[in-house]
Structures are given as structure tokens and as C-alpha cells.
């Protein structure tokens, strides 16, 4: 059996199964909180708020990078959950519904700002260039990686984010961003190809700085 196949099977048995069990129970807790929210119970809403704040904050922070807007969109999203909990019909995971609201509000806010969006179909992008002279530390590496993610278009970044950091399958992502599953795969293909190039550039520039500092 080839190593890439063994690796996947290993992950499937050891990681995915327990992960799925945990996701299932956490989903049940979230649904119980939603039932309380439908009855107007504020304490249930606040519990759900605390669960979703970190997840939405991370998603929105990478999508928008405007601190004041992130807070606004995050609370607007969860306000919809509070006010319109009845409109969740259970056809998807609760997280898919909530992230879908967040995504739509985020894209609306971005369009209001009229920010220039990268067109990641244009493959010839400008290299971010070498960074500061000092060797890349952990904090700077994080900043550079955020810059790498920032070079993707908002649509492509959302697909990467939801897959890599929010563990969503492509069908779920299609529901969140409101497009077909094929489009999600295609966005992932382009986003991934772009990321590969940008990360290789980052590694090269870090290596060059490392060499200079010696």
C-alpha cells in the first residue's frame, strides 16, 4: 500500500472518527441552545455566543481585517440567530447556517467598503517581496502568512478558511457561500495553487534573509 494511501487511512481511523463523534455531540449541544433561544432564553443565547465568537472572529478576521467591521459583522450575524432562530429549519448543520449568515454579511460589508479585491484567476500576481531585514520570528511569520492569505480573493479565501480551519466538507462550504459544489472545488484548486506559490516565495525570502544574517 502506498504511503499516501496509508497516511490517509491512518487519519481516517485515528482522527476522523473521534472528531466526528465530538462534532456530533457539540452539534447536539448547540441545537439544544438554539431550542432555548427560540423560547427567548437569553442565557442560552449567551452560551451559543461564547461558542461561536472565536470561530466567527477567526473567519471574519481573515476575511475582512478591519477590526471595527469584524465586531460589527460578528454581532450582526449572531443577532440574526437571536431574532430569527425559527428560520433555521434543520436542513443543514447549525454551524453551516450561522457561517452562511456571517459570509453574506461579510461580503456585503466588503462591498460597502468597495475594497479592491484580488482576482486570483489572474495567476501573474506581484510577489510580496522580501520582508524586514531580520530573520522571521514566530510573530512575523504569522503576519507574513496572513499576508499570503490576504492575497487570495475573498471568495477563494473563504473556501480555504472553511476547509482548513473550520473542518467543513466541500458540500457544507457550498451551502455557506451559496454556490455549487463544483465551484467550491474549483475555487479550492485555484486558491491552493496560488497558496503553494506564495508559500514557496515566503520560504525563499525567509531562507535568503537567514543567509544574509549569517
Partner 1 sequence: MMNTVVSMEQDDPHSAVQGLLPWYARGQLDEADTRDVQEHLLQCAACRAELEAEGPMQAMLSLTATAPEHASVEAGLARMRKHMKAQASPVSRSRWLPWALGLQGCAIAVLLTIVVVQMQVAPPAVYKGLASGEQPAKAEALIMFRADASELSIRAVLQAHGATLVGGPTESGAYLLHLNASPKTLDSLRAESVVTLVESLGPGARR
> Least separation, in Å, of the C-beta of 165 and partner 1?
7
One character per residue 151-170, x = contact with partner 1 (rule: CB under 8 A):
---------x--xxx-x-xx
Which spans in 151-214 are helix H? 154-164, 170-177, 181-213
The one-character DSSP state at 134 is S
In the block, residue with C-alpha cell 431550542: 35
Stretch in the footprint of partner 1 (CB under 8 A) among 6-14, 22-30, 107-115, 125-133: 6-14
Q: Is residue 135 close enough to count as binding partner 1 by CB under 8 A?
A: no
Question: Contact with partner 1 (CB under 8 A): which of 34, 69, 154, 188?
Answer: 188
Q: Is residue 84 close enough to count as binding partner 1 by CB under 8 A?
A: no
Q: Is residue 115 close enough to count as binding partner 1 by CB under 8 A?
A: no
Q: Is residue 122 close enough to count as binding partner 1 by CB under 8 A?
A: no
Question: Contact with partner 1 (CB under 8 A): which of 33, 37, 69, 78?
Answer: 78
> Least separation, in Å, of the C-beta of 106 and partner 1?
16
Q: Is residue 53 close enough to count as binding partner 1 by CB under 8 A?
A: yes
The one-character DSSP state at 115 is P
Contacts 24+ apart (CB under 8 A), 53-56: 53/78, 55/95, 55/166, 56/98, 56/99, 56/102
Which residues contact residue 122 at a Cβ distance below 8 angstroms, ignoring those fewer than 6 apart?
Answer: none
As a whole number of Å, the end-to-end CA separation of the chain is: 44
**What is the chain's Cα-based Rg?**
20
**Binding residues with partner 1: total (CB under 8 A):** 51
Q: Is residue 64 close enough to count as binding partner 1 by CB under 8 A?
A: no
Which residues contact residue 80 at a Cβ distance below 8 angstroms, ignoring those fewer than 6 apart?
Answer: 101
In the block, residue with C-alpha cell 525563499: 204
Residues within the interface to partner 1 (CB under 8 A)? 2, 4-5, 8, 11-12, 15-16, 42, 46, 49-50, 53-54, 57-58, 62, 71, 74-75, 78-79, 82-83, 121, 138, 141-142, 145-146, 148-149, 160, 163-165, 167, 169-170, 182-183, 185-186, 188-190, 192-193, 195-196, 199
Amino acid at each position: 500500500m502506498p504511503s499516501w494511501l496509508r497516511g490517509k487511512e491512518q487519519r481516517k481511523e485515528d482522527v476522523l472518527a473521534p472528531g466526528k463523534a465530538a462534532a456530533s455531540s457539540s452539534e447536539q449541544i448547540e441545537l439544544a441552545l438554539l431550542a432555548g433561544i427560540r423560547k427567548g432564553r437569553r442565557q442560552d443565547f449567551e452560551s451559543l455566543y461564547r461558542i461561536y465568537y472565536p470561530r466567527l472572529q477567526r473567519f471574519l478576521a481573515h476575511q475582512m481585517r478591519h477590526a471595527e467591521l469584524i465586531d460589527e459583522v460578528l454581532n450582526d450575524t449572531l443577532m440574526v440567530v437571536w431574532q430569527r432562530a425559527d428560520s433555521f429549519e434543520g436542513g443543514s448543520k447549525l454551524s453551516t447556517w450561522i457561517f452562511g449568515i456571517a459570509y453574506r454579511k461579510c461580503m456585503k460589508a466588503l462591498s460597502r467598503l468597495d475594497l479592491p479585491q484580488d482576482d486570483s484567476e489572474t495567476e501573474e500576481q506581484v510577489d510580496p517581496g522580501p520582508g524586514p531585514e531580520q530573520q522571521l520570528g514566530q510573530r512575523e511569520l504569522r503576519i507574513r502568512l496572513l499576508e499570503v492569505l490576504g492575497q487570495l480573493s475573498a471568495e477563494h479565501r473563504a473556501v480555504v478558511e472553511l476547509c482548513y480551519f473550520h473542518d467543513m466538507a466541500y458540500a457544507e462550504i457550498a451551502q455557506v457561500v451559496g454556490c455549487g459544489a463544483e465551484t467550491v472545488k474549483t475555487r479550492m484548486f485555484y486558491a491552493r495553487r496560488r497558496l503553494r506559490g506564495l508559500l514557496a516565495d515566503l520560504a525563499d525570502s525567509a531562507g535568503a534573509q537567514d543567509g544574509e544574517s549569517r
